[in-house]
Amino acid sequence: MRWDAQALAPVRSRRAASEADPDAGAGPEALVAATGSSGAKAAAPGTDALLPLLGLVRSVSTPEFAGVTFHEVTAKSVLNKVAAGSRMPFEWTINPYRGCSHACVYCFARKTHTYLDFDAGLDFDSQVVVKINAADVLRRELAKPSWGRQHVALGTNTDPYQRAEGRYQLMPGIIGALADSGTPLSILTKGTLLSRDIPLLKHAAAQVPVGVGISLAMTNEQLSEAVEPGTPGPRARLKLISRLREAGLPCGVMAMPILPWLSDSDEALDSLFSSLAAAGATGVTAGALYLKPGTREWFMQWIAREHPELVGKYRRLYGGGSYASKEYRAWLAGRIRYFKARHGFSGSHGFSHRDLNGNPTPDDPREEEAQYPAGSIPDAAGFSRQPGVPAGEAAQPTLF
C-alpha cells in the first residue's frame, strides 16, 4: 500500500449527493462500461491496474458516482460462516458489497479490501465490488435441507445501504429471501436508503425476528462531513431512526467511534444521547475509536492533514496498537454512562468495551466484549414496540 501517494476523495459533493438523491444513477442508461471487449478491467484514476476479480462481469462508472468504479461480479455463495470461536452474536453474515462509498476515514473494514488486491485507502472508497446475483444465490442456499435458519447479519463489514444500493437494489431480494425461508435477520447501516425498505421490513418482522441498527456517533454535521463524507448526515440518520420507530420497528444505535478530542467532549456526548433519546432509539452502545492495521494508516494520514495539532496526542494515546489507552477508555466509559443515564438509557449498559467480569477496561483490550444495543439483534422472544421507550441491552460480543 502506497499511503503517501493516496489522496482523500472530495468531501462536499459526496455528502450532498447521498442526502439529495440516494437513488442517483438508478437507470442503467447512466452507466458507462469501463471494460474492453476482452473483459479486462480499466484501472481507475490514481490506482494501479488491478488483478482480475473472480466472477467479474464488467466494471462500470457513472457521473452520478464521480470517482467510484463498480465491479459487478457473479457470486457462487453469499452466506459467510463466521469463524469458529468468534464472539459475534451470529453465525452467518451477508455482504452484497465489498468496499464502501461512505468513505469513512475510520472504517474498521478497510483491511479486508486488500484480500481482493485493492488497497485499504482510496481503493476501499472508490472500488466497490457488487454481487449482482446475491438474492438468487441466497435463495438457493436457504433452500438446502442443511440450512438451520440461524440469524444472518447484514452490514457487519461494508454498508448494504451505501448509495450503490439505489442502483442495484439487492436488499429487497435478500430481505425477502431470508424472511420467506424463516431466517431471522439484522441490518446495521448508516444509509438512509433503508427507508425505502421499511414496508418490506415490517412484512419480514411479521414472519421472523428482525433487528435494525443505525450507526451514528456524532451530531456535529461539519465533523461528520469531514470524517464520513459519503454518508447521509446526522440529522438525516436521526430522522431515519424516528421513521423506523414510528413504523413499529426496533432501532438500536451503534454510537461508534467516539473520536478523541473531536467528538468526546461533554457537549458532544450530551447532544448525541439527547438526540438519540428524542428520536426514540431502543438502545445505544458507544465506544472509542478502534484503529486496526489498514485503518490506522489512513486515519492518521487524515489527522495529519486536517488536525496536525492532534498527531502527537493520537500517537501517544494509541501507542503502536489498535486500542486507546486503558486510562482513556476508563474515562470515556464514565462519561458515556453519565450521559446515557441523563437521557433515559440508564437501564442499558454504558460502554461497549467490557470484560467478562463487567470491568470496563481490562488489562488486555483483546479480551473486551461489546454490548449490542437493544433492537439491533433479533429477539426471538419478541420485541416491545412502544415508540420512545428505551430498553436494556443484552451483553453481546463486538463487531470487530
Question: E strand or H helix at 327, and its extent?
Answer: helix 326-342
Residue 381 has what pLDDT? 53
User: How many residues would you count in the chain?
Assistant: 400
The burial class, CB within 10 Å (0-12 / 13-18 / 19+), for 384 is: exposed
Q: What is the pLDDT of residue 380?
A: 61
DSSP 349: -
Orientation angle between helical segments 326-342 and 266-279, nearest 10 degrees: 40
Output the tens digit of pLDDT for each of the chain's 400 residues: 332 333 333 333 445 444 444 434 333 323 333 333 333 334 343 344 344 688 999 999 988 898 999 999 999 999 999 988 777 888 999 999 999 999 999 999 999 999 899 999 999 999 999 999 999 999 999 999 999 999 999 999 999 999 999 999 999 999 999 999 999 999 999 999 999 999 999 999 999 999 999 999 999 999 999 999 999 999 999 999 999 999 999 999 999 999 999 999 999 999 999 999 999 999 999 999 999 999 999 999 999 999 999 999 999 999 989 999 999 999 999 999 999 999 999 765 445 544 333 444 445 444 443 568 999 999 865 443 333 333 333 333 223 2
Q: In terms of C-beta distances under 8 Å and separation of at least 24 residues, what long-range contacts does 118-122 make, across chains too?
A: 118/47, 118/50, 119/1, 119/2, 119/6, 119/47, 120/1, 120/294, 120/295, 120/297, 120/298, 121/1, 121/3, 121/6, 121/297, 121/298, 121/301, 122/6, 122/7, 122/8, 122/9, 122/46, 122/47
What is the rounded CA–CA span in Å between residue 252 and residue 238?
Answer: 12
- Torsions phi, psi for 316 (to 5 deg): -70, -40
pTM: predicted TM-score of the whole model, two decimal places: 0.82
Which residues are 395's β-sheet partners? 371
Cα 399 → chain centroid: 10
Cα–Cα nearest to 75, from 168, 10, 6 = 168
C-alpha cell at 289: 475509536
Place of cell 433452500: 143
- The bridge status of strand 80-81 relative to strand 210-215 is unpaired
Rounded to an integer, what distance in angstroms lies between the CA atom of residue 100 and that of residue 107?
9
Q: Which residue in this structure is represented by grid cell 459467510?
A: 80
Return the bridge partners of 215, or none: 254
| Crossing angle for the helix pair 234-246 and 266-279, to the nearest 10 degrees | 30
Torsion of CA 47, 50, 54, 57, to 10 degrees: 70
Instruction: For Cα atoms 390, 94, 299, give the angle at the middle one, nearest 5 degrees.
Output: 75
Count of alpha carbons within 13 angstroms of residue 191, beta-carbon side: 28
